[in-house]
Structure 1
Amino acid sequence: MNVFWGVLEASLMGTIGILLFCIISFTLKKRCQIEYKKIVWLLIALRLLVPIHITLLPLPLSIEVPNYILRGSSEWNNSQKTTASAKILEPINNSDAVQHWTTNHLVFFIWITGCFIACAYYFAAYLITYKKLMCRSTENVKPQIREIYRTAAEELKIKRLPEIRIMEDTDGSPFIIGLLKNRVFLPDKDYLEQDLYYIIRHELIHCMNKDSWFKVILLLANIMHWFNPSVWIMRRLAEQDMELICDSRVLEFASQEERKEYSEVILSHIQAGNRRYSVLSSGYIQKTNFIKRRFQNIFSTEQKKKETSTVILMIALLLLSGVFLSIRGSIAMYPKSRIPIESGLEVKTDVDGDGSTERVYVKDVVSGTDAFTQVVAQFDDGDTVFIDYPDYWSSYIISGDLSESGKADIVLVRYSIGSTFGAAEVSVIYMEDRSFKEYSSQFIKNPSIEAEQPDNFSSDNWALSCLGAAIIEKDGKNMLRLILNEDIQNDVVKCIDCSYRQDGWYIESLQIISNYYSENKEKELLNQ
């Protein structure tokens, strides 16, 4: 299901690219050749077809929007542990989590259904049209047509000639269809020699430019992003530019009189051709606005610049604007965490975010009457960083990216000496400038939760004791799970799942768990 959130992000980026490119095209329409526009349309379509995060800058521009549930799952190296944890957590998910799950899957189902329907429709339309055309056309072509066909092909230096067929339809317009094997279809009517030359040359240029494949890429992007109106607009504009390119190539060295003749040929077929052929064919587009634009292009003799600097400028602006950059937020998928969730007395993890792993371990030190816990990080360059916590032993650590900073946070669980019910102290620390620092233990209360919510999980909060902690993956993000004392004498605890915010830990869910000790639930809840 995470694929959809990648598609959604690509769709947002594609929309930015389409809008920006339309602005750039309008600004530079008299300065560059239209062939360059086709290159950029192709790049945008390819980006739309790649639903993954692609960043081309060291510090990609990002748009921050409020966090919600549409986020990418973390990539854990200990995948078996993740699967087990997901199964264990399922019975205690609250109604909000179930609703989030249902909403996510419903949205994914709607999207994939739309893709399937669109794909089935276009594929069926193509097959039906192709079969009808083959049945209602013939290879018996007049010698005059074949001679002009060969002449036009020689001028364009086409060695492998597409098959040419004559349709029974006399009111249609010429077009080309096929992917691996192109076929040119002409209506069964009498043509003037010059008109026929223009028609055939136009269709052969489509073959040379691989326009059938260009239309396939546009169509696939349109199917994948059927919900995005800007992609439909992109496809229409790109296909129009494709026709303008063919017109320009046909009239490359034409006089004004020849341009007039060519426009009359186009106009006659636009007026006669009322039938719609397959979306993968190249025909005469009959939109009124485009016909006007097409004639303006035909009669324009202004030489456009052939410098590649213009298209490079276009592409650079698109890239820098965010077409290939990531958006962070509620409707975009977060970059998958490369920090695995691990626990024990020692872990290998990336605490400074440089891409390499450091040895991080915990040791309980007893010296005479003093006892304290020490967390140590050892770097490859020999540097050692540590932080001490007094008066505790029987400790362990858990590593994972809770703050989504790209580096590991360390949860230290320290069990009290002499505790009869397993009381613990929990601290969450992180590395900054080769020094351990501690996150706040303050809770941010959730207004949608009716149960009483604690203020913090600090060791100074004597009214509340921790019984354990874990890092879990839930709703597509890493959360801190805390087991807190509710009524130990009656074997009742609170299970709080919270996510990191800059000003504290936001309580995502709160569960009252009965029979915590008697049914050994700590092993399930803490994934021990």
Structure 2
Amino acid sequence: MTNVFLAVFEISLSCSLVVTALMLLTPLLNKRYAARWKYWVWIFLALRLVIPFHGMDVRNALDTWLQRKEPVSEGILDNGAGHVADGLPGEGAPPRGIVVEIPAEMTAPIVLQAGKGDISVTLLDVAAFLWAVGCLLIIGVHCFSYLHYSSQVMKGGTIIRDSYILSQISGLKRELRIKSAVCAVEYPQAGSPMIMGFFTPVLVLPNRQYDPEKLHFILKHEMIHLKRRDVYKKLLFMTANAVHWFNPLMWLMQREAVIDMELSCDERVTQGEGYAVKKAYTESLFASFQEQCRKGTSLSTSFYGGTQIMKKRFRNILQGRGKKSGAAVLACTVALTVVLGNLVGCSLGSGTMEETSGRQENPDGSVEGAEGNGQGESDDLLSSTGSGAAAPGMAAPGADLSDAATEIPQNGQIYGYLSGFDGDAAIVDWQIWATPGSQYWKPEYDEDAGFEVVDAEGEDITYPISGDCTYSVLENHHDPVLELTPQEFASYLTEMEFPVLWVIELEEGQIKSISEQYRP
């Protein structure tokens, strides 16, 4: 849950910059561009806010999928330099330009006394928990309010059977090409006309006498809401606000989005009409505004924005001629959001958020995503086996790693990356176990896993290769196991698109076997 919270926090930061820019430019945008384009901008941003993924996440997922489709390449040529060829998924991507560092106090473990043992939590865990509770609470309140109000409408309302109103609704459905059925209900406690209902739309009208012309405008306004499925978009805005409730700008964005929804609907009602019709429409809105006294539910098209917002709607209707298309504004917003999403990030101590969120626990308990070898290798590599026990020849869990790092293993099994290979010797970037309590352990590591594979201190180790050394790789980095000749293995290294963690068997300082570690 902490990783999800950090992902949400990053997206909230990047989108806040876009929302701030739009808020500052709102007077200019409203003057020059039709409201429907700004409305689509809010819809895009709301979608971005509820999808906690970055562009690099999508790219890495695509790269992983493509790697699983590619067969193992075999050949007999070395690269001439004795080094593994570079080419990592996502390598060359721009680094985060705006980094918000999470204080170390937020990730420092706090041990709590419990009945059956101690529980270790961090302030970041507490913040993530409070975020989740707040998110669920806001969504729950809105859902309860909607269900309660809809039940009141069904109990206290009466189905409209007035032939004139029904004929107006039928005519507007043909005009607007609306195929879905809608039930018209008269509810005395309704504050204003509205559309509500997600699967069975209901048109709710207050119990009032309407002038025929005003009734036409009211019905057309609500039928346009129905055609555009604006109740679903209000649900989207509410969800985005609930997920990012800790960000004040998201509350302002939701309010501005609902206002632009009404402005764009007004533009659609009066599209192609003359000044006289627009004036009559504003008079209908004004009469409705004077009679509004009760609030409905936020998950409906009911709207009451106060005097200033109604004046804004009137100006937009009467002065709405000659406004430009806002397609360019929408395109710029999309581009800016994507760019900022890849530039803005969080930092946990000495590691970035990608190091934390990139680790995935496998069914066998192994952890994906270890530290690199210090030579630019990717972080999304498998972190060894699934048990907490140390492999033969490695430092035991909990041992002093600074001493272990200075002792070069001569026998047994170690894990490492190959930074050089020529058939006679291999340069091994040795990886060491880190466990909670050791000096190599960092707060962002997965404490539940009980270990993390980290880069050993000191220079890479050059080992001679035994004459009977065996080489094993995994087809498509999964299975089955393939046995290669030294020449084929050298070619395999040069054609790899990302570093692989190898299991290396040592005997009297010589390499007896090199096997590719399973990569899920």
**TM-score band (shorter)?**
0.5 to 0.7
Corresponding letter in the other structure for 1:126: Y
Identity %, equivalent residues: 25
The 3-state SS of whatever aligns with 1:181 is coil
* Cα 1:385/1:301, change in 2 over 3 Å: same
Contact 1:158 1:208 in 2 (8 A): yes
The aligned counterpart of 1:156 is 176
Aligned residue in 2 for 1:253: 272
* Deviation for aligned residue 1:180: 1.4
- Separation (CA, whole Å) in 2 of partners of 1:150 and 1:357: 61
User: 8 Å contact 1:69–1:100 — kept in the other structure?
Assistant: no
> Using CA pairs below 8 Å that are at least 6 residues apart, which structure has the higher relative contact order?
2
Are the structure 2 counterparts of residues 33 and 128 from structure 1 closer, same or farther at C-alpha, using a change threshold of 3 Å? same
Partner of 1:468: none
Q: Structure 2 vs 1, CA of residues 105 and 350 (structure 1 numbering), >3 Å: closer, same or farther? A: closer
Alignment of 1:362-377 (within 5 A): none
Q: SS of the counterpart of 2:186? A: strand
Relative to structure 1, the CA distance from residue 111 to residue 309 in structure 2 (aligned partners, 3 Å threshold; closer, same or farther) is: closer
- For 1:112, the equivalent position in structure 2 comes to 132
TM-aligned CA distance change 1:102 to 1:136, over 3 Å = same
CA distance in 2, matches of 1:223, 1:188: 34
Q: Which amino acid aligns with 2:16?
A: T
Task: Give the whole-Å Cα distance in 2 for the aligned partners of 1:121 and 1:339.
Answer: 34
Q: Is the 8 A contact 1:31 1:305 kept in 2?
A: yes
Q: Normalising to structure 2: TM-score of the pair?
A: 0.62
Q: Tell me the residue number matched to 2:30.
A: 29
Aligned match of 1:176:
195
| Distance of 1:244 and 1:29 partners within structure 2 | 10
Q: CA, structure 1 residues 202+68, in 2 after alignment: closer, same or farther (shift >3 Å)? A: same
Bigger helix fraction: 2
- CA shift for structure 1 position 99: 11
Q: Is the 8 A contact 2:111 2:119 kept in 1?
A: no
Q: Deviations over 1:475-515 (max 9, x none)?
A: xxxxxxxxxxxxxxxxxxxxxxxxxxxxxxxxxxxxxxxxx
Distance in 1 of aligned mates of 2:224 and 2:460 = 62
Distance 1:136 1:288 in 2: 30
2:161 to 134, 137, 141: 141
Q: Deviations over 1:402-435 (max 9, x none)?
A: 999xxx9631xxxxxxxxxxxxxxx34479xx9x
Displacement of 1:110 in angstroms is 2.5
The gaps in structure 2 that reach 5 residues or longer are 60-89, 113-117, 362-369, 385-390, 394-406, 435-439, 445-452, 463-520
**Is the 2:105–2:123 contact (alpha carbons within 8 Å) kept by the matching residues of 1?**
no
1:353 CA drift (Å)? 4.2
Matched AA of 2:181: L
Task: Describe the SS at the equivalent of 1:176.
Answer: strand
Structure possessing the higher radius of gyration over alpha carbons = 1
With over 3 angstroms needed to count, the CA separation of the structure-2 counterparts of 1:116 and 1:316, relative to structure 1, is closer
Q: 1:38 to 1:152 in 2, by over 3 A?
A: same
Aligned position for 2:222: 203
The reply to whether residue 410 of structure 1 matches residue 430 of structure 2 is no
Q: How does 1:290-329 map to 2 (within 5 A)?
A: 290-306=309-325, 308-320=327-339, 322-323=340-341, 325-329=343-347
Aligned twin of 1:190: 209
Say if 1:99 and 1:153 are closer, same or farther in 2 by CA, change over 3 A: same
Residue 272 of structure 2 corresponds to residue 237 of structure 1: no
Counterpart of 1:125 (choices 110, 128, 145) is: 145
For residues 216 and 70 of structure 1, the distance between their equivalents in structure 2, rounded to whole angstroms, comes to 37
Shift of 1:380: 8.6
Decide which of 99, 109, 123 is 1:64's aligned counterpart.
99
Q: Aligned to 1:336, what secondary structure does the other structure show?
A: helix
CA 1:286–1:65: 2 relative to 1, 3 Å = closer
The answer for the alignment partner of 1:8 in structure 2 is: 9
Which deviates further from its counterpart, 197-206 or 31-40?
31-40
C-alpha distance in structure 2 between counterparts of 1:99 and 1:339, whole Å: 22
Distance 1:106 1:402 in 2: 21
Count of residue pairs the alignment pairs up: 375
Cα drift, residue 28 of structure 1: 3.3
Task: Tell me the CA shift for residue 18 of structure 1.
Answer: 1.1
Q: Is it true that 1:378 corresponds to 2:413 in the alignment?
A: no
Moved more, 183-192 or 298-307: 298-307
> TM (normalized to structure 1)?
0.61
Q: Residue 285 of structure 1 corresponds to which residue in structure 2?
A: 304
Cα distance in structure 1, aligned partners of 2:106 and 2:292: 49
User: Measured at CA, do residues 100 and 192 of structure 1 come closer, stay the same or move farther in structure 2, by a change above 3 Å?
Assistant: same
Q: How far apart, CA to CA, are the structure 1 residues paired with 2:192 and 2:48?
A: 33
Task: Report the CA distance between 1:253 and its aligned residue.
Answer: 1.3
SS at match of 1:274: coil
Greater CA deviation, 140-149 or 51-60?
A: 51-60
Q: Structure 1: state its 5+ residue gaps.
A: 74-85, 92-97, 342-347, 364-370, 389-395, 412-426, 435-528
2:347 alignment partner, SS class: coil
* Paired residue type of 1:41: W
The structure carrying a bigger strand percent of its residues is 1
* TM-aligned CA distance change 1:159 to 1:336, over 3 Å: same
Contact residue 54 and residue 325 of structure 1 kept, 8 A: no
Match of 1:42? 43
Q: Is the 8 A contact 1:166 1:187 kept in 2?
A: yes
Q: Tell me how far apart the structure 1 counterparts of residues 104 and 39 of structure 2 sit (CA, whole Å).
A: 37
Change (3 A) 1:317 1:263: same
Task: Give the superposition deviation at 1:339.
Answer: 7.7
Shift of the 410–227 alpha-carbon distance from structure 1 to 2, 3 Å rule, reads: closer
Secondary structure at 1:14 match in 2: helix
Change (3 A) 1:216 1:378: same
Structure 1 residues 430 and 274, CA gap change in structure 2 (3 angstroms): farther
